[in-house]
């Protein structure tokens, strides 16, 4: 886990959980289409051996499988939210980064030598989608890492949108007010623990490196990159050094985002490239926007924060999941009194104000990682006219001009305690151990 992306790929391959595409694929649309088809059918990581126009291999859906993420974190799927809540609580010392061999050599390449992938029909052109920007807060020195889609414009320029609610925007604004550029680096191909940590919101005082160290239990070995010696994992596959220009905004987009809609052309930040570095046999990480991989990387931190908030008011919460749809949250709990599920649902809405629009509370006998089971609970334990409630007029994320994502819907799909015996689920002994290959 701590070594890097390629060692993680090797582990997946050894376990039979890596798919390989050996035929040449077109970077414009075809690769994206194949990834999406794989996610619908088998949802395993996939390595493309030959991509037209580049000598580098491409891997995608590395973290799109919730079971793989659970293994990465060393817990069963039902413990992921609880584990993430504990990791972000920040208790205990941060593990020291491991020692070992010297950092792999990096060679300078042009931007368009690396895979230039176009994902959706109306995208403005090729984009970096697994790109994590690392920068230092000029006042505290804390290293911040965060995901940002980046439009590949030329060998000297990338364009990206910085969310006003993000730490990178806050850091960039500090320097922009001084008329200074923000020195930063774009990292591609990260250790999986850091790839997960970079998708979390943990506050400006803590670095995502600290969270990744907690996940691995031993830290991330680092190297220094760029003139300002920014920290980057030694195993990083690609490093793009440069700076975000102060007071400069240029058109970026359109781009097919995570909700399967296009963000329109907007004047966004400009990243001036100093140089592009790559390992000799670097593996390029591509995330299809809105795919199971992007959703999973986002859903785990959301579920962890909701778990923490719900546990404050409902100590009997067992698990929380926001996968495979970020707008939905499901809470698995041991109901102790009537009305308690509503308290859990309200706590969940308060913990995640941007994406969670629908929240369902279910009993402990429901598998919340199987949406068929969740829908079963809704269909058999929820009285629609009394066990649902709405919270009108609550905004969601800022970029919602049509107010489509306003309001909240809570659904209590738990059995009534007074008649709990009437809601006992049928069970067939031995079904858990049946192996179809023994019969078919």
CA distance 365 to 342: 18
Tens digit of each residue's pLDDT (9 = 90 or more) over 318-346? 999 999 889 999 999 999 999 999 999 99
Residue 402 is predicted with a pLDDT of 87
Kindly state the tokens that stand for 69.
């993420």
* Burial letters 319-356, b for 16+ CB under 10 A, else e: bbbbbbebebbbbbbebeeeebbbebbbbbbebbebbb
For residues 345 and 359, the answer to whether their CB atoms sit within 8 Å is yes
Residue 16 is predicted with a pLDDT of 95
Query: Which are the contacts of 418, defined by CB distance < 8 A and separation ≥ 6?
Result: none
CA distance 128 to 373: 36
Choices 3.20.20.10, 3.40.1670.10, 1.10.3720.10, 3.40.718.10: CATH for 293-418: 3.40.1670.10
Residue 259 is predicted with a pLDDT of 87
- To the nearest whole percent, how much of the chain has pLDDT over 90? 85
For residues 144 and 208, the answer to whether their CB atoms sit within 8 Å is yes
Kindly state the tokens that stand for 151.
């439009």
Residue 51 dihedral angles phi and psi, to the nearest 5°: -120, 125
Domain boundaries, the chain: 93-280, 293-418
Q: Calculate Rg over the CA atoms of the chain.
A: 23
Q: What is the pLDDT along the chain (440 residues), one digit of tens a residue?
A: 557 999 999 999 999 999 999 999 999 999 999 999 999 999 999 999 999 999 999 999 999 999 999 999 999 999 999 999 999 886 556 777 776 677 899 999 999 999 999 999 999 999 999 999 999 999 999 999 999 999 999 999 999 999 888 899 999 999 999 999 999 999 999 999 999 999 988 878 888 999 998 888 888 899 999 999 999 999 999 999 999 999 999 999 999 998 889 999 999 999 999 999 999 999 999 999 999 999 999 999 999 999 999 999 999 999 999 998 899 999 999 999 999 999 999 999 999 988 999 999 999 999 999 999 999 999 999 999 999 999 999 988 877 788 888 999 999 999 999 999 999 999 999 998 999 999 99
Q: Provide the H-helix boundaries in 48-186.
A: 66-73, 80-88, 167-176
CA distance 408 to 357: 5
For residues 39 and 287, the answer to whether their CB atoms sit within 8 Å is no
Tens digit of each residue's pLDDT (9 = 90 or more) over 199-222? 988 878 888 999 998 888 888 899
Residue 91 is predicted with a pLDDT of 54
**pTM exceeding 0.85:** yes
CA distances from 399 to 172, 173, 211, 355 (A): 20, 20, 28, 12
Residue 2 is predicted with a pLDDT of 52
Residue 330 is predicted with a pLDDT of 98
User: In the CATH hierarchy, which fold is given to the domain comprising 93-280?
Assistant: Pnp Oxidase; Chain A (2.30.110)
């Amino acid at each position: 886990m701590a070594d890097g992306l390629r060692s993680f790929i090797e582990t997946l391959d050894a376990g039979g959980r890596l798919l390989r595409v050996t035929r040449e694929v077109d970077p414009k649309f075809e690769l994206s289409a194949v990834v999406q088809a794989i996610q619908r059918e088998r949802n395993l990581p996939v390595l493309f051996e030959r991509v037209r126009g580049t000598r580098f291999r491409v891997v995608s859906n590395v973290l799109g499988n919730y079971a793989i993420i659970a293994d990465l974190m060393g817990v069963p799927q039902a413990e992921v939210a609880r584990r993430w809540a504990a990791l972000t609580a920040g208790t205990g010392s941060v593990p020291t980064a491991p020692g070992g061999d010297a950092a792999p050599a990096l060679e300078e390449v042009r931007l368009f030598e690396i895979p230039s992938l176009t994902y959706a029909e109306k995208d403005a052109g090729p984009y970096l989608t697994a790109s994590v920007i690392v920068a230092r807060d000029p006042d505290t020195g804390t290293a911040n890492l965060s995901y940002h889609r980046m439009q590949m414009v030329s060998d000297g320029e990338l364009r990206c949108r910085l969310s006003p609610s993000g730490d990178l925007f806050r850091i960039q604004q500090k320097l922009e007010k001084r008329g200074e550029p923000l020195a930063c680096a774009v990292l591609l191909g990260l250790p999986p623990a850091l790839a997960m940590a970079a998708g979390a919101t943990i506050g400006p005082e803590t670095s995502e490196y600290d969270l990744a160290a907690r996940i691995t239990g031993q830290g991330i070995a680092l190297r220094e990159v760029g003139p300002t010696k920014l920290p980057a994992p030694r195993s990083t596959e690609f490093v793009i050094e440069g700076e975000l220009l102060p007071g400069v905004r240029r058109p970026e987009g359109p781009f097919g985002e995570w909700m399967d809609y296009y963000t329109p052309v907007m004047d966004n930040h400009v990243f001036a490239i100093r140089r592009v570095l790559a390992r000799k046999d670097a593996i390029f990480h591509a995330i299809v926007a809105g795919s199971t991989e992007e959703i999973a990387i986002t859903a785990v931190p959301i579920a962890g924060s909701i778990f923490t908030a719900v546990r404050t008011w409902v100590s009997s919460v067992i698990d929380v999941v926001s996968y495979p749809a970020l707008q939905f949250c499901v809470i698995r709990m041991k109901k102790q009194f009537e009305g308690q599920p509503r308290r859990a649902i309200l706590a969940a809405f308060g913990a995640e104000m941007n994406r969670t629009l629908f929240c369902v509370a279910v009993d402990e006998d429901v598998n919340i990682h199987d949406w068929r089971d969740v829908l079963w609970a809704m269909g058999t334990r929820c009285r629609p006219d009394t066990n649902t409630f709405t919270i009108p007029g609550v905004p969601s994320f800022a970029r919602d001009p049509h107010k489509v994502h306003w309001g909240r819907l809570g659904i209590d799909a738990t059995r009534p305690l007074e008649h709990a015996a009437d809601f006992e689920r049928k069970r067939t002994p031995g079904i858990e151990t049946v192996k179809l290959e023994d019969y078919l």
